[in-house]
Amino acid sequence: MQTESLYLFGGDSPWDAATWTSSDDRVRGGSSISYLTVTDPERARFHGHLDTTTLGGAGFASQRTVGVLALDLSEYAGLVLCLGGGASGHKYTLTLKDTIPGDRGDGRDQAGLSWETDFEAPKEGGDIQLPWDKFRATYRGRDKPDAEPLDLTSIKRVSFMMRSFFGTQDGDFELVIHAIAAKKSFSDGDESDDEDDDLQKPIEVARQEETPRTRSWWRTLLCGLHRSPSPNDGTTMPLLLRALLPPLSAALALQAAVAVPSIAAHSDRVYDLSGAATFITVGALSLYLPSIRAAGAPVLSSLVAILRGRGPALAGSLNWRQVLLTGAVGIWTVRLGSYLFRRNVAHGTDSRFDEIKHSAPRFAVAFFFQALWVTLCLTPVLLVNAVPRAALATGVTVIDVLGLSLWAGGFAFEVVADSQKSRWAREKREKVHDEEFLTGGLFAWSRFPHYFGEITLWTGLATAAAGILARKPAQLALGFSGGIAGVAVTTALSFISPAFSAFLLLKVSGIPLSEAKYDKRYGDREDYQEWKKNTPKLIPRLW
């Protein structure tokens, strides 16, 4: 007679990281942190760092299921953990709950009964059988022998925990899990039972794939971007794309929505305004996405709920750095977007688009590059917002101060330069002066001080983000192992923002267009040539 098995996670019930969330000792002031990273539909990693110093020898790091499972396992004899090789060899706890206590209001659940069993994970992997009689009732971490039996008809929550076991273990940990399955009976001894073929076949296939893998990141991308890859299998790229692709998609959609009527009307009137709106929308989306995923809710319906004021609350789910960096982008966006829009309305047109707006393909490319510009400039902020709050330090660091100071200085430089240029243009229209070009104020230090300010502020945000992402908890959250290679990747991604901004302003649409216009208009004037010769192009007093 064939033994029936039921996959709870893994096997024919694919792993999904969105259905798990962390529950670490940080809620009690500790410093431990855990992740459940889905390598592929048949493999997950429970990993992180157990800190036992902050709480004086205690500490725990755990992952639990989100929401209510409502599993009826009353016809089964227990659970089987199908573990893969490469585990750190620690002792873990598997916990079941048949009742989920309410929230205390401070982010922690009220105390309630749990049924726990401890197991040691062999480094080579294997199956661990856990009959129901191995689970013991506990309350606040202490055994409760007089508790009512576990209600197997209604298992509402499953969780994994790594804890110190009275100071016997701490540090980094990793558990590779192929599947959690319920079985109707257990065979005696270690010999394989033909009746278990249905359970073993997909697990053995998955284990065979644990040898060094050649799957490229693009294959993982095609297999499903919602999967969270392992930092050790060469598929880190999709997890980063998981942080970047939704914002890029939103940016492209918004720009397309504006491009269609603009191209039809040959109008550039709302081009800059649409760029500002895209910055704000994408930044806000990056703050909400982690909360939506943690709740296991469909993204589209959740976004609709947010627009109706019924979305998930962000209070308490964000680190102050995430709010500050996103807010800094919002401040810059509102200021620059409104400035450019007012200028465009006053002038009636934007000379940058005089030729291309009458060509649908060329005008469409301009909107596409604006979506790309928004996403690349926001990349450091998007990555920081993709890191769970628990993985971000609460204290202020030197890198925080340096990065935010650069942003503030660059922002001030850009605002003052734009203000001086606007005042100069207004006074010229009012015939207060008859100067043909601006050479005073910040324009005596740099021919393009507003561009210098913009590049500087993005450099500041990139600096702050790179410092945040270099910490090991943030590295683990993004799928890296915490080594120098991961730090190099996140640092490079952070500085894509100022690098791309500098490229556009120095080589494409900023200085080249403006300088060509000024040279054509004033190139034969001696005073213009003198100012151009003696005034640095971008960096005051340097270059």
pLDDT the model gives residue 368: 96
CB atoms within 10 A of CB 513: 12
Q: Among candidates 7, 9, 6, which has minimal Cα distance to 19?
A: 9
pLDDT the model gives residue 218: 38
Taking the C-alpha atoms of residue 232 and residue 493, their distance in angstroms, rounded to an integer, is 20
**CB distance 426 to 342 below 8 Å:** no
Q: Among candidates 436, 446, 400, 427, which has minimal Cα distance to 540?
A: 446
HSE-up of 235 (CA within 13 Å, CB side)? 25
pLDDT the model gives residue 238: 55
485 vs 302 pLDDT, higher one: 485
Range among 57-71, 220-234, 287-301, 452-466 rated most confident: 452-466
DSSP string, 13-49: B---GGGEEE--GGGGT---EEEEEEEETTEEEEEEE
The architecture in CATH of the region 5-209 reads Sandwich (2.60)
pLDDT at 511 exceeding the cut of 90 = yes
pLDDT the model gives residue 521: 92
**CB distance 287 to 297 below 8 Å:** no
Alpha-carbon distances, residue 333 vs 252, 283, 291 (angstroms): 18, 11, 24
Q: Which residues contact 168 (CB under 8 A, 6 or more apart)?
A: 91
* Amino acid identity for residue 476 in this structure: L
For residue 213, what pLDDT band results from cuts at 50, 70 and 90? very low
Share of the chain above pLDDT 90, in %: 51
- Joined together, the tokens standing for residue 216 give 């490229």
For residue 212, what pLDDT band results from cuts at 50, 70 and 90? very low
Q: Among candidates 129, 122, 123, which has minimal Cα distance to 191?
A: 129
The tens digit of pLDDT for each residue in 55-89 reads 877 889 999 998 888 899 999 999 999 998 777 77
**pTM of the predicted structure, to 2 decimals:** 0.67
Least confident span in 284-298, 355-369, 496-510:
284-298
pLDDT at 304 exceeding the cut of 70 = no
Where along the chain do its domains lie? 5-209, 240-318+353-386, 388-543
* Amino acid identity for residue 469 in this structure: L
**CB distance 461 to 497 below 8 Å:** yes
The enclosing H or E element of 516 equals helix 511-522
